[in-house]
Amino acid sequence: MNAFLAALRERLGEAGLLAGGDLSAHEQDWRKRYPGRALAVARPASTDEVAAVLELCHAHRVPVVPQGGNTGLVGASTPDDSGRQLVLSLTRMKRIRGIDVANASLTAEAGCVLADVQAAAAEAGLLFPLSLAAEGSCTLGGNLATNAGGTQVLRYGNARELCLGLEVVTATGEVWQGLSGLRKDNTGYDLRDLFIGSEGTLGVITAATMKLYPQPRERLTALAACASLDDAVALLGLARERAGDALTGFEVMNRASLALVARELPQLHQPLGAAGWTVLLELSDAESAEHARDLFEGLLEAAVERGCVQDAAIAQNLQQAKTFWHLREAIPLAQAQAGLNIKHDISLPVSAIPGFVAEMDALLTAYLPGIEVIDFGHLGDGNLHYNVQAPAGVAPGEFLAAHEAAINGKVYDAVCRLGGSISAEHGIGRLKREELAMRKDPVALGLMRAIKKALDPQGLMNPERML
Ligand SMILES: Cc1cc2nc3c(=O)[nH]c(=O)nc-3n(C[C@H](O)[C@H](O)[C@H](O)COP(=O)(O)OP(=O)(O)OC[C@H]3O[C@@H](n4cnc5c(N)ncnc54)[C@H](O)[C@@H]3O)c2cc1C
């Protein structure tokens, strides 16, 4: 190990290697579920340096954990507690390499913080639509490695759909130069799609070319109170029918989610009274502010007439729109503040969601009275964060130890029976590795293992994550 670290230091310089000292920011995952210990943290500043790190890891058989902003929620971006795994942090690679306005594309390095990518696109008069609550810390490389979703998937798709090309360093230290702004390229297997969503288990993404879109003329946000999830689904249908592609956000929050925010973050203003389900809608209009407002008012009036909305508020200005979004984005923060909970990031056909929630709420309440379900998410994408919190007075740690396996079993059995997925957007990591092995189609698992072996023959890339 000493020879390995000395070679790394020589190649990366003092700024490029953290060894000894306090490495805790790189060793602890965001949810604080997987405390780890790193051999060291490599901080390469260029693609060539990443290649040198992986070449050395390959030669010395050192396992590598790629890391971006370390906001991942499945325990895939931090080392285990062996003290043998090298963290490879991309955060020094944060250059926007270029923007091609005519091609509506942007090329940026993997360590660019998502909010900085959005800002660079905006400066060029264009929109980079990927958006999630962690956007001030998560990185473009992490977004692609997890195929992140977020709040704009309904209109623009997830990270995979926004990506045109990648630059990747392979497990043996070769550089695959696949940065392309092409929208059509049928020249064999799609390597780009292989690395997207691979959670650092196949190689290291060092840069990407991403799609940009026109900036909407106006963006309007509203909150709507619905009595039931069936009503929220009816509102989604109506919003799609009336607004078409202009509907860019459709988020739901159950009563318990907003009550938790009120408890943990009382400074946040909640404009509507408590409702069974509160929906956050966003319209992005290409025409004008008046057109957007007319569309929104017409939609909400029709929804009230049909009886699927009880009350609604349209944000009057940008600040108010931010406040509305902040409520939705504050839910994970309020949950983190309240302590550990059992998280499920699931997707289902939208039509199956109300039935799933009714069945599961009843099943879990019968299983453990007092249990609290914090249920929120991207209803427009069929993606729910169905999180289960300990009954009042029960310590979260004890609750997880005693009930996590049983509750996961109940939730995932129902999800699979209804044709859903056990991971909609957060990935597999360490958190869902066993579930994946049990529930994924065996042929698909066999193919995934074959790909892993072909691309990472020594099994050094993020070992024991996902597979
Ligand atoms: C408050 C909060 C809200 C969130 N909301 C959402 C949401 O709405 N939608 C959503 O999808 N996710 C969400 N997440 C999860 C998380 O932010 C995303 O998964 C994000 O894409 C991770 O980016 P990161 O740079 O932090 O990656 P990290 O956490 O550092 O890494 C995540 C995974 O990617 C790998 N990786 C990182 N960089 C690279 C690279 N350059 N090459 C290869 N592999 C790499 C890591 O090894 C790990 O497996 C949220 C997280 C938080 C804390």
Tens-digit pLDDT string for the chain (467 aa):
789 999 999 999 999 999 989 999 999 999 888 999 999 999 999 999 999 999 999 999 999 999 999 999 999 999 999 999 999 999 999 999 999 999 999 999 999 999 999 999 999 999 999 999 899 999 999 999 999 999 899 999 999 999 999 999 999 999 999 999 999 999 999 999 999 999 999 999 999 999 999 999 999 999 999 999 999 999 999 999 999 999 999 999 999 999 999 999 999 999 998 999 999 999 999 888 899 899 999 999 999 999 999 999 999 998 999 999 999 999 999 998 998 899 999 999 999 999 999 999 999 999 999 999 999 999 999 999 999 999 989 999 999 999 999 999 999 999 999 999 999 999 999 999 999 999 999 999 999 999 999 999 999 999 999 99
For ligand 1, atom 20, the nearest C-alpha belongs to 143
Rounded to an integer, what distance in angstroms lies between the CA atom of residue 108 and that of residue 98? 7
CA 121 to each of CA 21, 44, 192, 357: distance values in angstroms, whole numbers, following the listed order: 38, 25, 22, 39
Q: Is 30 in the pocket of ligand 1 (CB under 6 A)?
A: yes
Q: Are 11 and 55 in contact (CB under 8 A)?
A: no
Q: Are 208 and 197 in contact (CB under 8 A)?
A: no
Q: Is 411 in the pocket of ligand 1 (CB under 6 A)?
A: no
- Using alpha carbons only, give the angle 131, 135, 349 rounded to the nearest 5 degrees: 40
pLDDT tens string 228-281: 999 999 999 999 999 999 999 999 999 999 999 999 999 999 999 899 999 999
Q: Are 414 and 423 in contact (CB under 8 A)?
A: no
Residues 6+ apart with CB under 8 A from 190: none
- Whole-number Å distance, alpha carbon 139 to ligand 1 midpoint, is 7
Ligand 1 atom at shortest distance from the alpha carbon of 429: 49
Q: Is 75 in the pocket of ligand 1 (CB under 6 A)?
A: no
- Using alpha carbons only, give the angle 353, 354, 356 rounded to the nearest 5 degrees: 65
In this structure, which long-range contacts are made by residues 265-273, counting pairs with CB atoms below 8 Å and at least 24 apart in sequence?
265/330, 265/333, 265/334, 265/337, 268/323, 268/326, 268/327, 268/330, 269/323, 270/327, 271/223, 271/313, 271/323, 271/324, 272/223, 272/224, 272/225, 272/311, 272/312, 272/313, 273/225, 273/311
Best of 71, 168, 205, 264 for a ligand 1 pocket test (most atoms within 8 Å of beta carbon): 71
Rounded to an integer, what distance in angstroms lies between the CA atom of residue 160 and that of residue 20? 37
- Whole-number Å distance, alpha carbon 305 to ligand 1 midpoint, is 41
Q: Are 247 and 211 in contact (CB under 8 A)?
A: no
Q: Are 165 and 126 in contact (CB under 8 A)?
A: no
In this prediction, residue 386 carries a pLDDT of: 97
Q: Are 7 and 56 in contact (CB under 8 A)?
A: yes
Sheet holding 311-314: strands in order across? 311-314, 218-226, 277-285, 247-254, 372-378, 383-389, 345-347
Position 257: which residue type? S
Q: Are 129 and 55 in contact (CB under 8 A)?
A: no
Rounded to an integer, what distance in angstroms lies between the CA atom of residue 225 and that of residue 312? 6
Rounded to an integer, what distance in angstroms lies between the CA atom of residue 324 and that of residue 222? 8
Scored b (16 or more CB within 10 A) or e, 116-129 reads: bbbebbeebebbbb
- Whole-number Å distance, alpha carbon 295 to ligand 1 midpoint, is 35
Residue 203 tokens read as 């190689």
- Whole-number Å distance, alpha carbon 87 to ligand 1 midpoint, is 15
Q: Is 455 in the pocket of ligand 1 (CB under 6 A)?
A: no
Q: Are 282 and 153 in contact (CB under 8 A)?
A: no
- Whole-number Å distance, alpha carbon 71 to ligand 1 midpoint, is 5
In this prediction, residue 1 carries a pLDDT of: 77
Q: Is 91 in the pocket of ligand 1 (CB under 6 A)?
A: no
Q: Tell me, rounded to whole angstroms, the distance of Cα 312 from its chain centroid.
A: 28
Ligand 1 atom at shortest distance from the alpha carbon of 206: 41
- Whole-number Å distance, alpha carbon 69 to ligand 1 midpoint, is 7
Residue 158 tokens read as 């997830």
Q: Is 148 in the pocket of ligand 1 (CB under 6 A)?
A: yes
- Whole-number Å distance, alpha carbon 455 to ligand 1 midpoint, is 22
Q: Is 309 exposed, middle or buried (0-12, 13-18, 19+ CB in 10 A)?
A: buried
In this prediction, residue 31 carries a pLDDT of: 87
For ligand 1, atom 44, the nearest C-alpha belongs to 200
Number of Cβ within 10 Å of residue 247's Cβ equals 21
For helices 47-60 and 2-12, angle between their N-to-C axes, nearest 10 degrees: 170
In this prediction, residue 339 carries a pLDDT of: 87
